[in-house]
Every structure is written in structure tokens, then in C-alpha cells.
Chain A
Amino acid sequence: MATFDVGVQEQRDQTTGQGRVVNDFSIQVATVNGSGSQSANTVLLRSIFQMGVPVSGKNLFPSNIAGLPTWYTIRASKYGYIARKKEIDFLVAMNQETAQEDVMSLRPGAACVYDEPLNLSRLRNDVTFYPVPFDKLVGPVCPEAKLRRLVKNMIYVGVVDALLGIDLAESEKALRKQFAAKKKAADLNTAAIRAGHDYAKATFTKQDRFYIEAMNENQGKLIIDGNAAAALGCMFAGVTVVTWYPITPSTSLVEQLIDYLKEYRIGHDGKATFAVVQAEDELAAIGMVFGAGWAGARAMTSTSGPGISLMSEFAGLGYYAEIPGVVFDIQRVGPSTGLPTRTMQGDVLTTAFLSHGDTKHIVLFPASVEECFTFAMEAFDLAEKFQTPVFVLSDLDLGMNNWMADPFKYPEKPIARGKILNEEDLKRLGGFSRYKDVDGDGIPYRTLPGTDVAQAAYFTRGSGHNEKAQYSERPDDYVHNMDRLARKFETARSAVPAPVRHVDGTSRIGIIAYGTSHWALLETIDQLREEFRVKADYLRIRAYPFNHDVHDFVKDHDRIYVVEQNRDAQMFQLLKLDLAPEQVVKLRSVRHYNGLPVDARSLTDEIISQAGK
């Protein structure tokens, strides 16, 4: 991974100059959704990955089943940059509807493979064009007419392989992985890749400057999406009750979790150590989580913005009645239905304070697939340790796109169930007070229903209650309890994942970011240093409530840029609430909110433009 200490003197972005451009450009494939292009794009991505070149893929898709424009962007970067790149260097234009605009947005010197009838070469004379008669090529390799529409897309993989120098054998290997159990489909698509490859080799002379050459950067790495990683985290966290209501982009988390649970959590007797319920709505999904959490199960649900809004009332109950539960929010663009298939960090404030009254929640911000895995386990431990809802804020970019990763490490810590009193404890103590701060950390003790002593029982309610869990409207009981909850939240500051100082230098300028903005920011920091001689330190926040390291980082700098993917500067606002007034004035906001994953160039430009002010 590229970090601040990479001493590269050459200009990073060579794509506008002359000469060969090797392993440092982006490919965009424009198709319509439902045309099988996803398989072709995955094969292309994996081919480059298998050649040892750091790579990332971003799927830009519509909220639709079939027939609307879809773009897939693959970025190869020998420097290890995996954020989205704003500029497209190599276009595969398969969609008539968008082809013209796609071509016009290319930079001079770019290349374009296109479906011959689209007749795109007339549009520009500063772009290299490669027309391919896909319909003519698909006939011989796919006798079944109804499959041709799907197989046609695999042909461009072969064409791109030939033009960029991607090893055909790697594409065939990637394809066999893709169609593991389907031999007929694998054979058919292999033939399609070869047909494209042979046609390109026989027809085109390489005129563009883009090349993929084998490297050795991906040793031991694998490819996984954030939702699958989170699902694995939940399984290894020992989740037992999973409730959900389908919603993009969270659906694939639970669907992949179900697959894993069926594979690894059914005993020899055929019995399941888990229950999955597809609820009637998100209100029910979260209600089931709290019912199960109250009764002692490790329970979770996964949703996105609209579901979070519906869960608001229950979230307050979970906070006030002190019930564990884990909620994954795979954020998408809001408000309202918004852009359901685009990415945003838009639920930061909503989840931090979800529900009416004085309510605050623990929120985790994973930035990588590794953190989707580890934070899932962390979330269950925190939920039980603090007896409260815990929100894990992933986003569409992290959840639904493929990312390179090192193999996940098996959890070394045992599962932490928090302060639960069992039969022996209760007999020894002679009873307990459910909401009493015995240890001074604000965290009380609980018992589980079905504990076989009379003293275990207590009454849980979302209405006012005293230490003994009795109904109370007394002002002193209310204040006492709310102050204890605030104390508990303070305790959480040092228990949640600490922030990471990715760049810890002597600069007076600091940058704070979180979640998927991280990947663009690593690149931005290099751009600032190399292009503008601006050095910046960088802290990545990983949880709310903020660890004291966050306060220290702000204190240590004169100016702090808070980078995030939403319009309203939500993390910036949250920091303002937490910082002393003399620290607040140091904060500047850098925002990106067009629904596309943030790119480094946009952040660099914005920071430089604010730096002069």
C-alpha cells in the first residue's frame, strides 16, 4: 500500500503525457444491466489481480433489473492506489445509449474499444478507436441465439486482454473460478474470450499507450466484497439470531451470511445453531433483534438509510432499556429513497443520535473489508459489554464492490458476553439491581430470562425506571439514570476501536477522515506532498464516541480538514459537539456527495483551494 513515505519523484499521473503507461490507468466498461457484463468485468478484474498488479473495481449500476446503463471501472495501480480514479483512460463502449457521452468525456490520448455499429470513431480524433463487430463474432462461438446477448460481453474481455497485454491464461483461470460448477457456461465463455482475443490480434495494431505487465504485489491476497466480509465477521462473532428486510445495498450481507451459516453452523444432527428471519419490515427486524438480545442471543440486522429511519423508535428503547443488538447500515444516497445504488456516508448523525429524547449510540466506521470482518466481531462484543445497540456504518462502495485483502485473521479473543449474572451469582448476592452502577463505569449487571432463581427476574421498560427497574417518574431517579447512561458512554470512548494515525509527522496541518474516504485520502496525501509540497498528517476515525486520541490530534494541529462523503459535513458537526470551542475553530470541511465513490483528485483540489483561504 502506498503511504506517505513512498519517495517517488516522477510525476504520478503519466497518462496525459507521451510514452508507455504501465499498470497505472483506469478501464471503464459501459454496458446495460442484466446483460451478463458483471461476470465479464469480474473476469477482467481478476485477470489483472492474478498478474500481481494492485487493482480495484467499482460497479456503477442503476436501481433497475435490466436494460439501464451500467458502468464498471477497473483501476490498475502499481502504486497500490485503489480509490476510484476520476479520469478514464481506456473505455469499452457497449451501450448505444451512453456511448457518445462516454467517448466525449475521455481525455486526449485515451483509447476506446467499441461495438462497431455504434460508429464512434467519427466523434474524436485524439482518442484511439478499436471497432469490434461483436455480433458477428458471437455467432460462431454461441450457437444458441438466446444466450448470445450474455456471451457477447465476454468477447470484450479477450479484446482487452489482447490490447493491454493481459495474459489470456489468467482470464481463462478467472473464468473457471467464476463459473466453477457450470462447465457448459465456462466452455462457452472461454470460447468467447478466445474469439475476442484472436480477432484483436489479427485485426488491430496497438496504437494506444496502455499496458498491463505482471508484477508481484498481490502475493497471498484475495478478493472479497465488504458485505461478505461483514457476514463472515458476524458468523465468527457467534451470531445466533439474524433478522432482516431486503434493501439495497445491504441485502447481499445477509444473503451471504445465510450461505455461510448453512455451510458452517449446522451440526452433525442437522440442527441449526442460528435463526434467520426475513421480517415484514425494518420495524420488526429491529424489534426481533432486541427481543433476542434481551433474552441473551447475539442478534443482528442489516439495513440501509430508509430502514434506519424506521428503526428509530426501537433504537431509543435499546439505548434506554439497555439491550444489546448489532445493526449494520450499508449507507446509500439519501434523503428519502435517494439514489439507492449509489454510495454516501450520509447516516453518521442519524445513527449517532437515532431516536427521540437524549439518545446516543456507539457507531463503528470500517474502511476496509478487513475491518468489516473485525468490526463485526467487535460490534457484538461492544453491544453485550455495554448492553446497548451498536451501529456499523459501511457503505455501498465498501459493501458491494470487490476489494483486495490479506487473508483475515482468526479471532484470538474469546467472545465477550459482558456483565451477566447467573444462578450462582444471584444466590451468592441474594439479588441484584438491574440499573445500578456497581463498578463505577456506568455499566450495570443484567440477568437473562430463564435463569432458574426467583431473584433473577426484572421488568424491562422504555418508560422511566429506577435502579431496581421499577417504574418511576421521580425527577431524581430520572436524572440519576440518565447521568449513569452518560457515564457509560464515556466509558465506551476508550473501549471502541481507536483511531489510526496513518500519517504522523510534524505538520501543522491535519486531515481527519473515516470509512471509504480513506483510500482516496492516502492518494491525496501523496498528491499534496508531491504536487504542492504540502505535508499533512492524517488520522482516521474508526468509532463514535470519539477516543481521546481524536481530541489530541486536533490539539496537535493548527488546521484540520475533515473529509467525508455527504453534503452536510456530518462528522464535522459531530466533532464540533465534542471539542472545546478553541479547537472547533481549527476545523475545515471537505465534502464529496455526488453518489460516486470519492476520488483523490477532487479531494486534493478542494483542500488546495481552501488552503489559500
Chain B
Amino acid sequence: MSATPTTPAPKTNHIGLTVIDYRGGKTTLCAGCGHNAISERIIDAMYEMGVQPEFVAKLSGIGCSSKSPAYFLNHAHGFNAVHGRMPSVATGVALANRKLMALGISGDGDTASIGVGQFVHLMRRNLPLIYVIEDNGVYGLTKGQFSATADIGAKLKTGVINDLPAIDTCIMAIQLGATFVARSFSGDKKQLLTILKAAIAHKGTAMIDVISPCVTFNDHEGSTKSYKYSKDHDEPVNELGFVPYFENIDLDYDPGTTSTVRMHDGSELRLRKLEREYDPTDKLTALRVLEEAHSKGEMLTGVFYVNTQAPSFVDLLNLVDEPLARLPESLVRPPREALDEIMESLR
């Protein structure tokens, strides 16, 4: 029996796009770079969540990480800004057009060293934005100097030992007011994808620190951001599941071992308990557990903190629903009578 060979229709997501619609340019980063794995997960998450790429704004600073927005979502506008200043650019973009999904990609140097000032104030504002740190603890483009997230005692290839404490961007973000704070590992496909999908569903600042080993400058013995070290020390605080709003939300789960966070778009983030008790809505617990992990040398991953109730910066500014960038002249230039009235008051 002979059958006419047919090309099966390509698989599409719930808005009818294929995964190809989410692809980007060819990466120019090193083969095996953790950042490439993160780009792949971003493509998967955007595809699976059915985000329309034309309504995403990709924003970055300077560094290897900040190059990566060119390697995913070609149908989205991208803006590779100046070093450490992506948060301000992202703020302007998000205010100009509230219908855009702002996705910021930064690195550990771009965030925790040169960019720490803008990072701090971005977290305070709870701007609707996904902020991903591709964190390898080292400057790649300038060939391997420590950044401010390098752990104390970590060793460079050249033998230089880091003797200053690391900045924990998750602790900072939680303390400062970010409303979705997580850490993952570029090598953990499932966890990273789940976290990204939950971040897409969140309305507010979602800060995700992704440990992303630098294969060229920081993947050796003595590094605390190498693949081997990260794999050996990865300690998830919870096992994550995610049910998007457009799928059957009534999947069974055991309320004794699993808690649920209902996200802004109606999706559910499910957190299954592992060895420890962990409540991701409790700020103080999150900060304590993260501090304890540092003293134990553990690399905690998972969703550390979620607050779906806090107002976002756009809410606080009480903006019109239409994007500010698209308002017609009739709405942004007051009428002649307004000027007459003001002039009269100054006589």
C-alpha cells in the first residue's frame, strides 16, 4: 500500500505561530556558552506562552549577555544600550508603550558592577518587566576579570583569588521591592523554562538570576560558576510546575505538598515542597534562606519570592490604557482655551 508522502503541518502554539517565528540571528557567542542555552529557553517560553513577538521589546546593556537579544525573537524590536544602563532605557520603553512586554537581558557586570545603581532603582519601581541576569561571575569580552557576583575565594584562570564578598542580586531584588525573584541554572532546562513562563505571566518586575557558566574564562577548577560546580551545588528550594491560563487549570495536585500562586494572567505557578519548608510569599524567609545558603556554600535555585498584589509602576502613574507613544495630538496638546486661561492668570 502506498501513501502519498505529506509534510505534516508544523506545530503551532495557541496564537497560531510556529517556534520558527521566535527564532533569532545566529549566535556569535562561544560554543557551549550558558547564554545560548538561556536564549533557547526564552524562545521556548515565549512560544509556549503564545506571546506575540512583535509586542516584545528586547533590551540589554553591554557585555556577552547583552549581545544575546540578537539571537532570539527576530520579530521583536531590540535595543542594545550602554553599559549598566539598560534599566533606565527599559523604564522609558515600558512607560512609552504599556502594551509591550519588556524583556531585559543583562550580565553580572552589567547589573552588579557598573549597573548596580540603576538595578537598585529599577527593582524599587516594580516596573512590568522581565529582567534576566546571565550570571557567570566574570567579564568575558575583556577576557576574564572578576565581576561583583564572583564568590569569595573563587579563582580565576590566571590564579587570582577573589577576596571580596559577592553581591547576591536575588537578595537585593527581594529587599528592594521586586515582586518575582528567582534563580536558575542555564543547565537546568526544565526549571529555567518554568521560571521564564511564570515570569511572562507576572505583572511587575520579575528578576531572574541565571547562573550561566563562561566556558572560556570561568569553567575551570576553583571557579564557583563552572558547570561542574553549579551542577554539584545546585540546591532547588522547590520543584516548579506551571499551568498557563489557556490550558486546563484543574490539574490535580496535592495541597499537602504543593502550594499554588495564581499569576496576573490567570496562570498558576505550582511549587512542590522539597526537603525544606519554603513559603515563597514570605519576604523574610526568603532573605534568611538565601543568607543561610551563602554560609553553607549552597547554590540555591527556584522561585524565592512572589508577590502578585503589589501595584506596578504603571499602576502608580495612573496611565491611560492606550500607549503614550500612540496618543493622538487631540489628547496630548491641550486646546487653545487652556493656553488662553493660563495666559490670563499671568497678567
What is the interface of chain A, defined by CB distance below 8 A to chain B? 221-224, 232, 235-241, 243, 260, 264-265, 267, 269-277, 279-281, 283-299, 313-314, 317, 407-408, 410-411, 414-415, 447-454, 456-463, 471
Contacts and interface: CB of A to CB of B under 8 A. Distances in A.
B175 interface: no
B78 A460 contact: yes
B92 A291 contact: yes
6 contacts: A238-B329, A290-B89, A295-B100, A313-B82, A454-B53, A454-B75
Interface residues of B, number: 59
Given A232-B342, A314-B85, A453-B54, A291 B79 contact: yes
B276 interface: no
A8 B320 CA distance: 58
B327 to A, nearest CB: 6
B117 interface: yes
Given A275-B324, A457-B76, A460-B77, A270 B95 contact: no
Interface of B: 21, 52-55, 57, 59, 69-70, 74-82, 85, 87-97, 99-100, 117-118, 120-121, 317-321, 323-327, 329, 331-334, 336, 338-340, 342-343, 346-347
Contacts of A414: 329
B92 to A, nearest CB: 2
A263 to B, nearest CB: 8
A267 B332 CA distance: 10
A237 B333 CA distance: 6
Contacts of A296: 96-97, 323, 325-326
Please indicate which of the listed interface residues A223, A224, A456, A459 has the most CB atoms of chain B within 10 Å of its own CB. A459
A580 B151 CA distance: 60
A289 B325 CA distance: 12
A236 B96 contact: no
Contact of A238 (B54, B333, B342): B333
A267 B80 contact: no
A236 B337 CA distance: 12
Contact of B332 (A238, A243, A449): A238
B54 A452 contact: yes
A289 B81 contact: no
B55 A450 contact: yes
B88 A410 contact: no
B54 to A, nearest CB: 5
B255 to A, nearest CB: 40
Nearest to A287: B88
B87 A284 contact: yes
Given A275-B95, A459-B80, A280 B334 contact: no
Given A284-B87, A299-B92, A457-B75, A272 B81 contact: no
A271 B320 contact: yes
A273 B319 CA distance: 6
B320 A279 contact: no
Contact of B79 (A271, A274, A294): A294
B346 A410 contact: no
A50 B28 CA distance: 71
B156 to A, nearest CB: 27
Contacts of B52: 452
A283 B333 contact: no
A451 B76 CA distance: 9
Given A271-B320, A274-B324, A411-B333, A241 B96 contact: yes
B80 A288 contact: no
Contact of A264 (B21, B79, B81, B334): B334
A410 B339 contact: yes
Please indicate which of the listed interface residues A238, A281, A289 has the most CB atoms of chain B within 10 Å of its own CB. A238
B317 A291 contact: no
B317 A272 contact: yes
A288 B334 contact: no
